């Protein structure tokens, strides 16, 4: 990949999701990504042979534009659509420019669904976390994979919001037809300033991977 993502230096559990996907899905399977951003995790999926449905509401992430950078600088960020064209991958990605929580369901299922740190964004706090999880689950066919990385609470205000969660709290959404495959978490760590967070900041992150049963229980 020749076009850099503006999020390329931020920590992610995506390699664990990709490893599970390779174990459980065929190379030409379809993966739906909620919160596609500028394609930081889309392009690796396509390069690995998967078809991708990329859902994103943010115009800047999709179409690019001027961004504020650390150090009181500005720069041009390349959006997902331009990156896909430059990489010659546009035919393998269906871009859905919609609010995942407000739009009508896609009406189709995928072999896997993934989201990266989308729950904690303020725009998603107006709906219960369970609604987001339920919509994700509805995207996954029987036998398919669901993966989510998310922010865990650090500050007091985080503990007042269910969207800053933990693997233990997520368990209650995955009963019946779901098998939990892997949960991980970090300790608190300092992440360097980046687009959207112009000062060094502290995070704690979690990972939740689950598989939908091939037949209903």
**Pairing mode of beta strands 65-69, 140-151:** unpaired
pLDDT the model gives residue 216: 58
Q: Please name which of 93, 96, 105, 7 lies closest in space to residue 57, comparing C-alpha atoms.
A: 96
Question: 204-215: per-residue pLDDT in tens?
Answer: 999 999 999 987
pTM above 0.75, yes or no: yes
DSSP string, 18-52: HHHHHHHS-TT-EEEEES-TTSTTHHHHHHTT-EE
Q: Number of C-alpha atoms within 13 angstroms, CB side, residue 7?
A: 18
With a cut of 90, say whether residue 67 has pLDDT above it.
no
Question: 173-201: per-residue pLDDT in tens?
Answer: 999 899 999 999 999 988 887 777 778 87
Q: Which helix (H) or strand (E) holds 207?
A: strand 205-212
CATH number of the domain at 14-212, out of 3.40.50.150, 3.30.460.10, 3.60.20.10, 3.30.750.24?
3.40.50.150
Question: 57-66: per-residue pLDDT in tens?
Answer: 999 899 998 8
pLDDT the model gives residue 197: 76
Query: What percentage of residues in the chain have a pLDDT greater than 90?
Result: 62
Token pair belonging to 210: 């689950």
Token pair belonging to 160: 């007042």
Domain map of the chain by residue range? 14-212
Which whole-number Å values give the CA distances from 14 to 17, 18, 43, 199, in the listed order? 5, 6, 12, 24
pLDDT the model gives residue 106: 72
pLDDT the model gives residue 1: 60
Residues in contact with 146: Cβ distance below 8 Å, sequence separation at least 6, in sequence order: 112, 113, 114, 136, 137, 140, 178, 208, 209, 210, 211, 212
Token pair belonging to 77: 């960020």
Q: How many CB atoms lie within 10 A of CB 114?
A: 27
With a cut of 90, say whether residue 46 has pLDDT above it.
yes
Coil, strand, or helix at residue 119?
coil
* Range 139-164 average pLDDT: 94
CA 102 to chain CA centroid, Å, is 17
């Amino acid at each position: 990949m020749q076009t850099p993502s503006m999020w390329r230096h931020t920590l992610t559990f995506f390699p664990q999701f990709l490893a599970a996907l390779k174990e459980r899905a065929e190379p030409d399977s379809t993966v739906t990504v909620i919160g596609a951003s500028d394609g930081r995790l889309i392009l690796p999926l396509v390069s690995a042979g998967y078809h991708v449905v990329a859902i994103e509401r943010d115009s800047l992430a999709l179409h690019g534009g001027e961004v504020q950078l650390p150090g009181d600088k500005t720069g041009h960020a390349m959006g997902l659509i331009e990156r896909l064209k430059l990489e010659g991958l546009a035919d393998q990605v269906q871009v859905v420019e919609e609010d995942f929580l407000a739009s009508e369901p896609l009406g189709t299922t995928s072999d896997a669904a993934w989201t990266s740190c989308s729950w904690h964004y303020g725009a998603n706090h107006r709906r219960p976390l369970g609604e987001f999880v339920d919509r994700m689950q509805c995207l996954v066919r029987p036998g398919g994979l669901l993966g989510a990385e998310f922010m865990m609470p650090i500050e007091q205000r985080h503990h007042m919001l269910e969207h800053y969660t933990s693997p233990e709290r997520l368990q209650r959404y995955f009963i019946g037809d779901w098998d939990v495959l892997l949960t991980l978490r970090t300790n608190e760590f300092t992440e360097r300033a980046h687009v959207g967070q112009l000062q060094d900041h502290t995070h704690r992150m979690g990972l939740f991977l689950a598989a939908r049963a091939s037949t209903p229980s």
